[in-house]
Amino acid sequence: MLAATAMAVVFATAAHAAPTIVYDTELGAIAPGTTTTDSAGTRSTNAGATLGSEAPAADEWQQRNVRQNGVVGITTDYADANGGNGSIYFSTDGSNPSKADMEYYFSTPQLLSDFTGGGYDWLRDSASTIGSAPAPAYRLIMNNAAGGFGYFVYEPYNQPPGTVATDAWQTTLIDTSTSLFWATGLNFTIPAPGGVGPSCQSCLHTLAEWSAANTGAKVIGFSTGVGSGWNGGTFVGAVDNVSFAFGRDTASFDFEVSAVPEPATWALMISGFGLAGVALRRRRLAALNA
């Protein structure tokens, strides 16, 4: 479910709306695969080639499309740049199709032509052994007017100057006129000089161009993730502070690990409860004997 402060409301109309905090304990289990939660957060992995995902639900962030030893979750591995204790964690094992995503589906789809921008923070750990290009993607989950499903995909290395920093949080702002996306899926019209095709990773166009070529296309959700086709090395990194806007309606999300007391803290709390109970009983006895 969404954090209680947001309930099922997807958008808030405000110039600087406070982000919705998404805690690791709000994530569900994936199938197939395994999901664990401890003091370092929640993470899911799936050794097989069949995609492992949470049961579909709208208006909440979910671990999805996990396969071939991909890992995703909300953990303390990379504390975010804004002082929080967590972020979305990703890793792949270096094989194709190792993959892991975090996705958010809308209960009410939005027109691509109404999309006005968004952003995310991302980090690539230098411990990654894959080539220097890959970093977490920002994706629009799409339906075209004919009902075809797919993604418009933003990847940092496809943008000028074409390099990816490591070991430090990077803030990327997405707009409709300069940010370059490629498409994967069914029956999207590729802006000129393209055509119609199931996928075109080399067809980099702005969202304004994709929208003009695909009248009536709708955004049915957002996705961030890693892998699938990333061969030749492992990847490890993180994403946080994901946002998107349709006109004046905005949504932003901060991913955190729910505070769980350490065992020693639990012991102190239980001891405190016991002492409080003793004191209360003494006060009651004193009142009876007065």
Per-residue pLDDT of 49-83, as tens digits, reads: 999 999 999 999 999 999 999 999 999 999 987 88
Stronger pLDDT, 289 or 110, i.e. the higher one: 110
> In this predicted structure, what is the pLDDT of residue 57?
97
> In this predicted structure, what is the pLDDT of residue 199?
67
The rounded distance, in Å, linking the Cα atoms of 251 and 138 is 15
> In this predicted structure, what is the pLDDT of residue 285?
39
Is the separation of the CB atoms in 81 and 121 below 8 Å? yes
> In this predicted structure, what is the pLDDT of residue 168?
96
> In this predicted structure, what is the pLDDT of residue 146?
82
Average pLDDT over residues 19-32: 98
Report the topology of domain 12-259.
Jelly Rolls (2.60.120)
> In this predicted structure, what is the pLDDT of residue 160?
87
Which token pair is 152? Answer: 């418009």
Parse the chain into domains and list their residue ranges.
Answer: 12-259, 264-290
The rounded distance, in Å, linking the Cα atoms of 226 and 26 is 21
Tell me the pLDDT tens digit for each residue of 75-122: 999 998 788 999 999 999 988 899 999 999 999 999 999 999 999 999
Q: Is the pLDDT of residue 136 over 80?
A: yes
pTM metric for this prediction: 0.84
